Structures are given as structure tokens and as C-alpha cells.
Amino acid sequence: MDEIDDEQVAEFRSLLEELRKQLLDACTHFDIWFQLYPTEQKVEVINRYKGFFQPARNAHLDRLYIKICNVISSDSRAPSFYRIFKMLNNHPTLASGIDVRLLRKRLRQHDKVLKKINDYRNKRVAHWDIETEESPRPLFGETEQMLKDLQDIFNQISGAHSANVWSFKYIQQGDTTNLLNALKTSYGGRDGRKLH
């Protein structure tokens, strides 16, 4: 039988909370980055303030990649799924009923997109490597699906640990779109329609 003490439980809870924060940050940066995409409805206001919105959009993408790299890191100090998996392998009663092998397999299904993110992070976000060709960025859909799956994996682990049905659910915010609408209204955009 697996015996765990209060200190191990506290460490696991603390790690889960830090992982939740990193995942929430990743989802938030993804959402803002997506809302700043210059669609036909938004391009006029984004172009008018492009000195702000283009760097802001790039910064949110960079932060998204950094946060994703944190949650999938194999570094023993990182607040990552692999660190959680290691703790669960050593102490399965921290989240009874969790099949760590199955969760690792689900995470590995995203290896291609995670490799693209990690490569881009290492060559263009954390370091600027002019010696290599630019790696392809992950596509919107594959990144969105991966984030949903990471949330689900987190919820399974956290739910098994704390008996909460929903431990994490990112609710898309419309703040960025609302800001773009306010800016468009303030300078009298062409058609006066609200952005979506």
C-alpha cells in the first residue's frame, strides 16, 4: 500500500495549483492572440493602431509558447505534467484511479505540435538563432485542440485528487474584442458594425 504523508499531499496540491496557473495563462494568451487576428472586421482598427497591436499579438504568442513549454517540460523543477506523472507513479493514492500511462499516451499524441512550439520557443522566443531556418509554427486548430486536451488531462488528475468534477475550465473572454470595438467606435470606423 502507498503511504503518503501530509507534506507530500501539500507538495502535490501546490504543484497542481501552479500547473493550473500556467495552463490558465496559456489559454488566456491563446485567446488574446486569437482575438487580435486581423480578420476582415478587425483589420481596420488593428491597422490604425498597428504599432501597439502587432507587437502585442506577437508577445501573446510568445507567452503562449513559453507557458506551454512550462507545462510539458521534463525539468524536475518545472510545474509540468511530467512532474505530476512522476509523483503519481511514486504515490498513486494522490489521485486514485488515474492511469498515468494512458495520460502520458494522450500527451504524446500532441508530440508534433509540442515539438513545433518547443522549436519555435527555443529559436525565436527565448533565443534568437539566426543560424537556422525558421521552424514552422503550429497551426491554430492543432494548438486549440492540444490546449483543450491539456485542460481535460488536468481536470482528470485534479478531480481524482480533490473529488471536484470541474477543476479547471477556461471561459473565453471578450475583453480584447470589446477593446477593439471601443477603439473602432472612438474614431468612427467605416461601417460602424461591432466586431466579432
Residue 89 lies in a domain: yes
pLDDT digits (tens, 9 = 90+) for 17-28: 999 999 999 999
- Whether 157 maps to a domain, the answer reads yes
Averaged pLDDT for residues 45-73: 92
171 or 108, which is more confident: 108
pTM of this prediction?
0.84
Domain membership flag for residue 132: yes
In a domain, 186, yes or no: no
61 vs 4, which has greater pLDDT?
A: 61
Residue-number span of the structural domain to which 142 is assigned: 6-177
43 located within any domain:
yes
Cβ 57 vs Cβ 102: under 8 Å: no
Q: What is the pLDDT of residues 83-125, one digit of tens each?
A: 999 999 999 999 999 999 999 999 999 999 998 888 888 776 7
In a domain, 75, yes or no: yes
Q: What is the pLDDT of residue 84?
A: 96
Do the domain assignments include residue 62?
Answer: yes
**Predicted pLDDT of residue 83:** 95
User: How much of the chain exceeds pLDDT 90, in percent?
Assistant: 56
Q: What domain count does the chain have?
A: 1
Is residue 194 included in any domain, yes or no? no
